[in-house]
Amino acid sequence: MTHARTFVATSILHIVFGTCRAFADTGAAEWLFISSFDDGLFAQAQNVRIERPDGSELPARLYGPAEPNGAAVVMMHGCSGQWSQGEPWTVAQGAIEKWGVKLAQSGYFALAIDSYTSRTPAGVDPRDFQQQCAGDVHEGAVDPYTTRVADMELGIAWLRYHVGAAATARIGALGWSQGAQSVLVRSAETYMNANVSRFDEPADEVSAQLASVVFYPGCGTNLGFVEGSGAGSSYWRPHRDLRLNHGGADSLHASCADRADIAIGAYDSVPGSGHAVAYVEYPGAHHSFDGAITEWPATRCDPDASPSDFCAASDADISSLEFFSNRLGQQSNP
């Protein structure tokens, strides 16, 4: 099967691999490890509370496998928030819940991080603050390029401590829309504002994400990684393999295609390089093309033969899980 555009470049974990319990015993950053986590509730979903340095809570939803495969995936919601019907501390929105359950069934721990609820300003309904898309009252209130990247770091540290180093030895990242932008930043080879590698030391390499998947991010100049006035001067490329799913009818796709082209052409982000960009553009698919699909697809369809949001979602879900499986060491069962 071929798509209209298919390219096939990944990331950064500043949390050091190793025994997380030993790290906690040093007394360093003990605030990372305070939570309502119940380690007897594997093989199902549970909402958890992760404490930040300032004492505030970072809400999250953990999906635990019955038979862990040694890998975990951190999931980042889009600009419409994490929770179903915008109601905090319930179940996650369709695409997130679907992926969390499927990842757990496939042996992964999956942690969906809510970047909005705990930052709701006084006097604002938390359900309203879940809406931060273009045109919303709270548009862009939580910065996906800095604040939400730090949330990813905190979530990974929490996973390593509470779930354990062995069960989370291999880390991947998954993001949608605004959350996908956070994953792009954290998966990058360089800093947002300087074309300098972030992986000069062996310890940095050990801490890198092994695989990242993003759905329909924005890739414009706000993402950073440019040396000129537009995405055409991009130096973004991932440190490890990354798959980018986008819709051909999504107004955001063009700059992402340009970023992928540059990563491949200028930085050799090609298959087999270890830092490949797999850019997959689905004909006729719109932004949030998987948003209304709450069940894991039974089979994939050919999006070239049947261009639609449903067909795009079916192929992107199954293919992206296979992408994780091939890089995180677990055979998928799509």
What's the token pair of residue 43?
């093989």
pTM for this model (two decimals): 0.87
Q: Element (H or E) spanning 162, and its range? A: helix 147-162
CA 113 to CA 110: how far, in whole Å? 10
Q: Is 118 exposed, middle or buried, given 0-12, 13-18 or 19+ CB atoms closer than 10 A?
A: middle
Of 207, 159, 152, 206, residue with least CA distance to 184: 152
* Domain 5-328 of CATH type 3.40.50.1820: yes
CA 240 to CA 43: how far, in whole Å? 29
pLDDT per residue, tens digit, the chain (334 aa), is: 334 333 232 222 222 222 232 223 223 333 333 344 444 444 589 999 998 888 888 999 999 998 999 999 999 999 999 999 999 999 999 999 999 999 999 999 999 999 999 999 999 999 999 999 999 999 999 999 999 999 999 999 899 888 888 889 999 999 999 999 999 999 999 999 999 999 988 777 767 789 999 999 999 999 999 998 788 899 999 999 999 999 999 999 999 999 999 999 999 999 999 999 999 999 999 999 999 888 999 998 888 888 899 999 999 999 999 999 999 975 444 3
Give the 3-state secondary structure of residue 57: strand
